[in-house]
Structure 1
Amino acid sequence: MNSINAHWTGAFRVITDTEGWQHFRRLDPALLMSPATDGLENRATMGAGIRASWTASSGTLVLEAEGTADSSPFDVLVDGKLAHRVTAAGRVSYELALGPLKPGTSVQLWLPQFGTVRIREASLNGGGVQPVTESGKRWLTYGSSLTHCQQADGPSETWPALVANRYGWQLTSLGFAGECQLDPAAESTLQQLPADFISLCLGINSYNAAVFSERSYASQVLGFLANIRKAHPHAPIAVITPMVSLPREELPNAVGMTLRDYRDATAAVVRVLRERGDHGFHCVDGAAVFTPGEAAELMPDTLHPDNTGYRLMAARLGPQLAAVADAH
């Protein structure tokens, strides 16, 4: 019987402390500075998109972990289907029997997408257990809470996870709830990570926090995209404009911009880049993901989709992103 420890995918860095606990980081810390980026750093400790994969013919998943009170659950997938969903809040210890398995069955452990966890042990014990090195296109996706997906029932049901599983892509999720502000730390991380294609969902946090004005927003987006392009000269890049949020569409924020203004400015940057000859940039209209009626039904707080909403996001964004990923 083999016992294989988790090999984590989707993290920028995994840190093991002197007591043997593993901690996860989704951003390069070199450009973080307290207290200005404390919120972003907190989100970067959360495990959205981070998972371990094995194949096995039988097995028991052993998991010892500790999570903050706001943690989403762990998800265990067997052959791509949810087999176990268990709490991560507090100090937890599990031995999850996976039942009879066909030889070569895929087993995945997904870390909670929200809340901070540390891992003492994550291993699969059983027959024919082997670690898996993922193949498929390497996909970097950056965005706000709408990419972080706190409201999803579990980490395998965020829209990036659903899309990645559907198309067999290697996901790195850089969704940071409330903290998608075109930060240098995010830009640097996107530059350093390998990518076959990239998606960036921009604008909603800038509207909510009134971080950039009409003078500064488009210029900041332009520089952010141009610097990512320098690091990834051949990767197709999809820029997703803000999704519909009915109360915000025509309501000016503290710098006088509506959500529609941020959407139009984001699309304008992509148009300018294409006019200047970079046809590797593609604009995806976030306002077309939900109809106004669907937004009213599937966004209970007028901003964040519920679990059904994230599934619909995956169904509608997936084919558009697949077309970008296959673009030459």
Structure 2
Amino acid sequence: MQHKLETAEDGAAEHPFAPFLRTLGRGPGRSRALTREEALAALRMVLRGEADPHQVGAFLMLLRYRGEDPDEIAGLVEAAREAAGCGTAPGVPVELDWPSYGAGRTRGAPWFLLAALALGRAGHRVLMHGSNEFSSGMPVTEALARLGLRPADDRADAARMLETVGFAYLPLRVLSPGLDRLLGLRALLGLRSPVNTVARLLDPFDARASVDGVFHPPYIALHLAAAERLRRPRLLVVKGGGGEAERTPLKPVTAHLFDHALGHREIVLPATSREGSRSTTDDIIAVWRGEAEGVALATVLATLALALLALGSVATASEADARAVEIWRRREAM
């Protein structure tokens, strides 16, 4: 049953966006989450510049305060995808969508990037998109520069990179400037908003699988439920380092999978390294060249195995770990 947005009781003229705020912000027992259709219409107005800036701030904080709802998130994602031109053919099929929006305050280098690069060299086209504006660690763009690589300039450039090297990084500011501005409001509002969840679920090139990381475990079920409503083919979510799709090798991790054909299941991933092997290196070039090991390399390999499970190209955690080692050893030859 669909809910109708209310109109002002006194009949006075009001801004067209106001009913969305009233629906979200009325008193206890009277407010509710937006339906999927309402959320789509609301964020569509925001991204078109049809809402007042005061309304935008109130909208984001009301969504946060109420708690994120799967139907609501699905509608927001649909609006964001529409504004960003997602779903249009990129020219090449993408196998793995890899969002990177972590804001960890204790992380260093983005070891997950090396896993994605190695996977791309192995013939699996990987599109990474994101923003690391609120992370204290090394941004993906800086890591790419150290490796002699660059982010994509636009969707067409990303498609060319996918075709030639199997990997592309598309910054959110290029993919969707409007959504990037909303994400940036965190510095003004002081709090994360549901835009972070929306950006992670964009899937710009309609990949056949996605791997995602969250910082807070309750968001795992939210991401999976939204993906199911959006009829995504396959999504693997893990509580990762700094909120990234990065698997720690030092302790067991549970990966949560939604497959449109097979449903939901959990995959328990064992620890692959001991505390005694901990390394403090942040030299991403040395690790890529095989000149440094320790926990940095173990993290890369564990994350590479996670991506293989997301793709569904291996059946078990042990098979994924073995295949990850093989891909890593062959990365230069490939």
Given the two structures, how large is their TM-score scaled by the length of structure 2? 0.31
Structure (1 or 2) with the greater strand fraction: 1
Structure (1 or 2) with the greater helix fraction: 2
Given the two structures, how large is their TM-score scaled by the length of structure 1? 0.32
